[in-house]
Each structure stands twice: as C-alpha cells, then as structure tokens.
Amino acid sequence: MREAATYAFIYHQLLVVLAGAVCLFGTWVGMRHFARARATEGTTRAGWLFMASVGTGAALWAATFISILALDPQLASGFEPVATGVMLVIAIVSCLIGFEIGSRHFTLAPEAGGLVMGVGILAMHFVAARGWHVAGTVSWNAYGLVLTFLFGLGLSALAVNRANRPVTRWCRHGAAIVLAFMVCTLHYTMIASATVTPDAAATLPSWLIPAPTLAIAVVGAVLLVMGSGFSTYVIDLRSRTESADRIHQLSFNDGMTGLPNRIAFNERLAFDAAEAHEKAHKLAAFSIDIDGFKDVNDLFGHAAGDLLLIEAAHRMRGVLATGEFLARQSGDEFLGLQMSGNHPQDAQAFAERIAAVFATPFMVQEQAVTLTASIGYSIFPTDTPERDHALSNAKLAMYRGKSRQRGLITRYHQQMDDKARARRALARDLQGATERGELLLHYQLQTSLHDGRICGAEALMRWHHPKRGMISPAEFIPLAEETEAISGMGEWALRSACRDAAEGRIPGTVAVNLSPLQFERDDLAETIHAILLETGLSPKRLEVEVTESTVMSDQTRGLHILRKLKSMGISVAMDDFGTGYSSLATLHAFPFDKIKLDQSFVKRLPEDAAAAAIVRTVLALGTSLGIPVLAEGIETEAQWQFLAREGCAKGQGYLFAKPQSLAQLPAAIAAAGRFVREEEPMLFDAPRLAAAG
Ligand code: C2E
Ligand code: MG
Ligand code: MG
C-alpha cells in the first residue's frame, strides 16, 4: 500500500484497448441490426430492434466492465451482484428505447433516440460507480462529472445521427466508432474525476463479486451475445442473397419482350431499397413511357406494335450498366431502377441513356417511325423516405413532363404532389359544371381565303369556374376526358351550338369538336340526330371535327360512324391535321369533307421553308383527293396571302376573329367585313382551288 493519503487509479492499458475493441465490434453488429430494423416493418422490425438493442446493450455493458477491470484501485475491491445485473438491464432497455425513437420519421428523431441511449449509458456508469466497493472512500470532482455528462449525451446523439442520416457509405461504421469512442471517453473522464482515500478500517461485504469471477462472466456473456448477433447477421445476409437469386429467376417473365415483369420489379425494389438504406446508397426509380405508341398500334396494327415494343426493349436493355434494372409494366410502359453510390446525377444520366435509344427511327412495315420516350424519376430516400412512393412519384413526374411536351426527362419534386392535388380538385369541380350552367360556348369565325367572306364558325368550349374564373379548354378538356365527364359536356356543346345556329345567330355552318370518348359511344349518330330534330337545325349546317387518332383507335367502327353521320347530311372535318401519323391511307379510308391544317405549321409561315413545303404538300394532297383545306391559326396578313396564293380554300385565326361569346359575335362579324374583297379577290391558284371545290 502507498503512503500518500489520496491517489488516482492506475490502468492496465491492454484491457482498456480490449474494452474499446469489444465495444466497437458489439456496436458494429448492433448497428447492422438497427439498419435492418429501419429497412423492415411490423414484427420483423421489432425483432431486429430487439436484436440491435441486446447486442449493443450487452457490448456497452461488457465494455464498461472490462474498462473497470482495467483499473487497479490498489485496494481490496468487489462488485455488487444486483447493481451488475441492473446495469445490463439499463443498457439494453435504453438501447431499445433509443433505437425505437431513432428509427421514427420525425425531424430530430435520430438525435432524440441518441440522447435516450446516452442517458442510459451515463446511468449505467453511475450505477457501476455505486456498485463498486473499494476499501476506502471515493470522492468526485464536480467539473469532471459535468464533462462526463456532456460527452456522454453529445457523442451518443452523434452516433445515432450518423447511423440514421448517412451522407457517405462510411457513416454506418462511423456510428459504431463514435459509440466505442464515447464509452472510452466516458470512462476516462469519470475515472479522472475520482480520487480514492484508503481506509484501513473499511471491510468489504463478503457477498461482493470478486474481479476475476466478474471477468470470466463478462467474457462469457460477450462471446454469447455477440456470437449469436453476428451469426444472425450472416444468416440474414445469406437469405437475402438467396432472395436476390430468386428475383433473378422470377425476372424473365414478360413473355413478349423478355424483360422482367412488374412482380419482379416490386421484389427488386424492396430488395434494393433495403440495401440502399443499409449502405447509405441512393436508389432511383424510373417510369418510362413511349410517346405516340398508341398511334402506331392503331395505324399499323397490334402485331407491328408488338414488334416495335420488342425492339425498344432490346435497345433499352442494351444500355443498362451494373446496378441498373429494367422491367416492363404493361403496354408501352417500362420501369427502371438504378442503385448508385451518392450521385443523383447518375439517375439523370441513366434517363438520358434510355431516351437516346429512341433517337434512331424504328422500322415499322418498311416505314421509318420516329418515337420518343417520356421519362420520370424519383430518388429514394432523398425525394421520399417511403420506398413505395418512389415509383408513384416517378410516374407522377413522367405524366407531368408528358403533359407539357413529349420526350421530356422529369425529376419528381414536392410541388408536383400539390399540382396533382389541385388537378384532382379541379376534376371534382368539373363534375356537374354543365348542370350548374358554368359552361359556355365561344365562336370563332371561319373565312374563305379567296374573297374574305365568312363561311361558318367553330364552337369552342369555355368553363367559367366559380372561383378561378375562365379556364382554358386545353386545361379542362383533358381532365374531362380522364373523368369521362366529357360525354355529357360534349353533348351539351352539340345541343347549344345547334340551337344557336338554328336561331340564326351564327353565320353559315357551325363546327363542333368531338372527343374520342364521344366517338366511342354506339349511340353517337342517334344522339346527334335527336339534337338536330330538337333544335330544328338543318344537318347541312352542322360540321363535326374529329382528330385522326379519334377515328383510328377502331378503324372499322370509326368508318361506320362517319358514314352514318355523312348519310345524315352532316359534314366531317379532320382536325389538327399534321400532328398525328397523318397518312394517305387515313384520308383514303374516310370520307372527310375538310382537312383542318394544324396551326403549328401555319404559325411558321411564310419564312420557314420546311413549314412552307409541308403546307404545299398538304394542299396538293387535298386537291388530288378533292378535299378542301382550312388553315388554322392565321395571325398575319402575310400568312393569309401565302395560303391564298397556294390555293388554300379556307382559314380561321386571330387575324380574322378571335373566339367570341355569342353576344359579341355580331361585332366580330362586322369587323371581319373589312377582309371581304369584292372586286379584287386574293391571288390564287385557280385550277387547284376549283378542284378543291
Ligand atoms: P382546336 O379544335 O384545334 O381549336 C382551335 C384552337 O386554336 C382554339 O383554342 C382557338 O382559340 C385557337 N386559335 C384559333 N385561332 C388562333 C390563332 O390565330 N392563334 C392561336 N395561337 N390560336 C388560335 P381553344 O379554344 O383554347 O381550344 C383548344 C382545344 O380544345 C381545341 O382545339 C379543341 O381540341 C378543344 N376543344 C374546345 N372546345 C371543345 C369542345 O366543345 N369539345 C371537345 N371535345 N374539345 C374542345
Ligand atoms: Mg377544332
Ligand atoms: Mg385544331
């Protein structure tokens, strides 16, 4: 025994290192279990949380004891058995609560969970100090204890923070290192705060556990808990590898393209998401939709469409790199997954690679068809912490892009949800808008380009929303088509336009747009017939406008309906000509009375040589088939002159008149009178115009 009245402890360095190592290994295994808990749900999650807590708790407990055993108090000493047991319970319970809180989704959840663990670890140290009896009195330094507290709480919060908010793949190891570091730090600060005064008179109770016995118990417990924890981890890893193999087998299930199917995709998503969680990787989900595929199918038939899909799938598969996965959802929709370290730009690059395979035209029945793909993607867990939302977000992004323009690559962002919500609200408002009298028709005059005389008007629907005011058909017609409200709305438009025309408020023929959904109804011709009877309008004054894809979705039926309408004396115009897969065959097959040349070509006249060439071709086509052409969107005198010179029969556009309400129509008609050329008609190509009729 030394002579000094008080002294600090001395250390067995090797045991301190061992304590750190035990803590490091134990918490590393614990953190792996914790990562699995975060990636799973329900009872599996509870099981993993329990394993994580027992493993980490036991490791912390053992490390604390080994480091105490590393101290040589140079006095007789021993441990209270109850305190020893209580410490283990405290360690495990605080880890359990800490991990449970740490794996939740509220803002500071990881840090809060870490604090709980820190409190537990501190409590364990203080119980240890109380339960450790030496033949003397121990006094504590207040500053040292405060320091111990701060280190304990701060470092444990940091540990769970690192495990839950990884920024690099090394963070998961960082969590274990921080915890091990904390246990060592706590131990040293606490011991450094203590001084012992030997007391020769003190006798230790006989029931204390002597250090060597405790050492054997600790080593035994450590081996048992960590061994079982580690083997659980290895078994889990193995079974996951097996399930990855199973996914691989399940994969080739789409008979046509040979790509994995939707089920395989879901399995792969679950697997990759768990992996991403654990390794702090990013997982990007993609929704890929081939634009205009439906038109190809309608125009060339299903067999040709299938061949095109096979070719597209083949091309896309050809550009996949490791860690990337492609599946076919259905029809022309494909799904993708990409596991990437920490580079969100990888996802964009993947999408660009996929988009690029569509740059080369596809050969369909010896015709080159150029297609594009609309791609949306969302990155997990950056864009959403929920694995299941990754795909729906990607789809939302894809649809959002597609609605703006074909062939776009769009990344999901939060506001899209808000927009989707607003859209749904608008769709709800649209229900019953007809009954509430919120719909109205505006009319746009149509003019003969030859002499500037008015020959008719097109009815264009408007929606007066009670809160938002006037809404454009470009916004609400697609919504109405999705919700099928268009049927009722379209019928209302037909009836109102016929009534207005019959009452003599519209000059010449009145043109009404028909939606594809109206065209699908078997009773379309009968409905129109009834409306004509009801309003008393002569069928000769009614024209219906359909787009190419409307008719082509079911050619035989489409032809049948058009013939019926024509036999009633109603004329049929092909709207937006030039934007679909306008082919000669369509014009030959259907008895159209008018071709409405889309405004996208007219807009570029007369300077744009390519647009001018297309317009000339369409006009020549109309002439040779004997179908007059009406040019849409004429805005300038120069466009009018060009079109008239090239023999275009009719026109419609802001130059002559903007769409107007019924009340303003007389003024518009009067204003359009200034274009009439009585004595000196526009220059035109007489033979062509004569042929066009
Ligand atoms: P659409 O049938 O091709 O109608 C022509 C569109 O071009 C109208 O847009 C018209 O306002 C616009 N327009 C006319 N002249 C010019 C011009 O000189 N310059 C420019 N920039 N634009 C011009 P609106 O009224 O917004 O209608 C958009 C589309 O909504 C219509 O295209 C049509 O497809 C659809 N639609 C409108 N009313 C109905 C309806 O009653 N039923 C159905 N099914 N669809 C409708
Ligand atoms: Mg139209
Ligand atoms: Mg049009």
Q: Please report, for the chain, the start and end positions of each structural domain, with discontinuous segments joined by +.
A: 2-236, 253-412, 423-675
Judging by DSSP bridges, how do beta strands 136-140 and 629-631 pair with one another? Answer: unpaired
Judging by DSSP bridges, how do beta strands 77-79 and 71-72 pair with one another? Answer: unpaired
Proximal ligand: closest to the CA of 630? 3
543 lines ligand 1 (CB under 6 A): no
The burial class, CB within 10 Å (0-12 / 13-18 / 19+), for 547 is buried
Residue 315 corresponds to which tokens in the numbers above? 């091309």
- Choosing from 632, 635, 678, 679, the catalytic residue is 632
d(CA 21, CA 18): 5
DSSP count for the chain of H helices, then E strands: 25, 23
How far apart, in Å, are the Cα atoms of 644 and each of 200, 444, 501, 619? 121, 19, 28, 11
User: Mind listing the pLDDT tens digit for each residue in 315-349?
Assistant: 999 999 988 999 998 889 999 999 886 777 899 99
The answer to whether 52 touches 102, Cβ cutoff 8 Å, is no
Judging by DSSP bridges, how do beta strands 71-72 and 10-11 pair with one another? Answer: antiparallel
Specify the CATH superfamily of domain 423-675.
EAL domain (3.20.20.450)
10 Å Cβ neighbour count for 181?
17
Residue at token pair 């199973």: 246
**Residue from 434, 440, 460 to probe ligand 1 pocket by mutation (most atoms less than 8 Å from CB):** 460
Q: What is the pLDDT of residue 693?
A: 40
For 541, which DSSP code?
G
For the 253-412 domain, the top CATH level (class) is alpha beta
298 lines ligand 1 (CB under 6 A): no
Q: What is the pLDDT of residue 248?
A: 65
> How far does the centroid of ligand 3 lie from the alpha carbon of residue 443, in Å?
14
For 680, which DSSP code?
S
Question: Of 285, 286, 326, 284, whose CA–CA distance to 309 is shortest?
Answer: 326
Residue type, 667: A
Q: What is the pLDDT of residue 527?
A: 95
472 lines ligand 1 (CB under 6 A): yes
d(CA 146, CA 560): 90
Helix residue spans in 165-292 (DSSP H):
171-192, 211-251, 262-279
Q: What is the pLDDT of residue 688?
A: 43
Measured at the CA of 638, the angle between CA 632 and CA 642, to 5 degrees, comes to: 70
Q: What is the pLDDT of residue 280?
A: 79
Residue at token pair 């918490």: 27
> How far does the centroid of ligand 3 lie from the alpha carbon of residue 29, in Å?
66
490 lines ligand 1 (CB under 6 A): yes
User: 549 by DSSP, 3-state: which?
Assistant: helix
445 lines ligand 1 (CB under 6 A): no
Q: What is the mean pLDDT of the chain?
A: 85
Please provide residue 581's backbone torsions phi and psi, each rounded to the nearest 5 degrees. -95, 55
Active site residue 366: no
| Closest residue by CA, ligand 1 atom 37 | 460
Residues whose CB is less than 8 angstroms from the CB of residue 453 and which lie 6 or more positions away in sequence, other chains included:
447, 676
| Closest residue by CA, ligand 1 atom 2 | 513
The burial class, CB within 10 Å (0-12 / 13-18 / 19+), for 536 is exposed
Q: What is the dihedral of CA 573, 575, 580, 584, to 10 degrees?
A: 30
Helix residue spans in 568-635 (DSSP H):
584-589, 599-602, 609-625
The answer to whether 287 touches 376, Cβ cutoff 8 Å, is yes
493 lines ligand 1 (CB under 6 A): yes
Task: Tell me the CA end-to-end span of the chain in Å, nearest whole number.
Answer: 125
Residue 584 corresponds to which tokens in the numbers above? 């000669």
Q: What is the pLDDT of residue 70?
A: 76
547 lines ligand 1 (CB under 6 A): no
10 Å Cβ neighbour count for 95?
32
- Closest atom of ligand 1 to 545 CA is 2
Proximal ligand: closest to the CA of 444? 1
> How far does the centroid of ligand 1 lie from the alpha carbon of residue 658, in Å?
11
> How far does the centroid of ligand 2 lie from the alpha carbon of residue 511, in Å?
8
> How far does the centroid of ligand 2 lie from the alpha carbon of residue 458, in Å?
7
Residue type, 517: L
Residues whose CB is less than 8 angstroms from the CB of residue 534 and which lie 6 or more positions away in sequence, other chains included:
495
Element (H, E) at 11: strand 10-11
- Closest atom of ligand 1 to 598 CA is 3
Within 13 Å and on the Cβ side, how many CA atoms surround 492?
19
Residue at token pair 């998503």: 269
The answer to whether 115 touches 156, Cβ cutoff 8 Å, is yes
What are the residue ranges in the chain where pLDDT is below 50?
A: 1-4, 684-693
> How far does the centroid of ligand 2 lie from the alpha carbon of residue 573, in Å?
9
Q: What is the pLDDT of residue 290?
A: 94
10 Å Cβ neighbour count for 267?
18
C-alpha radius of gyration, the chain, whole number: 39
578 lines ligand 1 (CB under 6 A): no
> How far does the centroid of ligand 1 lie from the alpha carbon of residue 460, in Å?
6
The answer to whether 275 touches 244, Cβ cutoff 8 Å, is no
d(CA 628, CA 614): 16
| Closest residue by CA, ligand 1 atom 22 | 633
How far apart, in Å, are the Cα atoms of 90 and each of 46, 47, 147? 19, 19, 21
| Closest residue by CA, ligand 1 atom 11 | 659
Residue at token pair 């078994």: 235
Which residues have CB atoms below 5 A from the ion given as ligand 3? 575-576, 632
